[in-house]
Amino acid sequence: MSTSGFFRWPAPLARMCTAPWGLGLRGTPALLAPGAAVTAVQMAGRRDHPALLPPLDERDLEEQFVKGHGPGGQATNKTSNCVVLKHIPSGIVVKCHQTRSVDQNRKLARIILQEKVDIFYNGENSLVYKEKREAEKKKQERKKRAKETLEKKKLLKELWESSKNVH
């Protein structure tokens, strides 16, 4: 049951966070494994209620403003409205350039970083990971219902065909 293609996000959110693997994190949960972390990390930033997560301390953050990238030409490529936010204790880096506004990008970068830090420290117990599991369950239930409906339609069609042939 692979979920690697389950969640898709634009490039600014799909950045892999860097982690200081030399800090004794040998027993990291499977969520932080190189192949498995991508889906949960990509899901960061999709939450509607980031207030449920513990707040970040501003002293632990390092913020930079770099030139933008992507479509938009000169308007985005010459302005420094792309926010690069680093959480110093964990080494997680977030790069956000979703809007043209620096203030909105700062807010979005903090929300995304907050969720990535939650994934980093809590692993499978993080809110983002729990939501991902719930979404997988709902998808499986929808698939099961669709399969049952299709089987019922086939059976009904066979009954209709057989009753048509009898007359």
Q: pLDDT tens across 104-157, in order?
A: 999 999 999 998 998 888 888 888 888 889 999 999 999 999 999 999 999 999
Phi-psi region of 138 (alpha: psi -120 to 50; beta: other; left: phi over 0): alpha
Beta sheet of 92-96, edge-to-edge order = 61-66, 82-87, 92-96
User: What's the confidence (pLDDT) of residue 112?
Assistant: 92
Sign of the CA dihedral 56, 61, 66, 69? negative
**Are the C-beta atoms of 143 and 153 separated by less than 8 Å?**
no
Domain ranges of the chain: 54-122, 126-166
CATH number for the region 54-122 comes to 3.30.160.20
Residue 141 φ then ψ, to 5°: -65, -40
CA–CA distance, 24 with 20 (Å, rounded to integer):
9
Give me the residue label for tokens 């080494």. Answer: 91
Interval 27-83: pLDDT, tens: 434 444 444 444 555 555 555 555 567 778 889 899 999 988 878 777 777 888 899
Per the listing, tokens 């770099």 go with 66
Residues 96-131: b if buried by 16+ CB within 10 A, e if exposed? bbbeeeeeebbebbbbbbbbbbbbbebbeebbbbee
pLDDT for the residue 150: 96
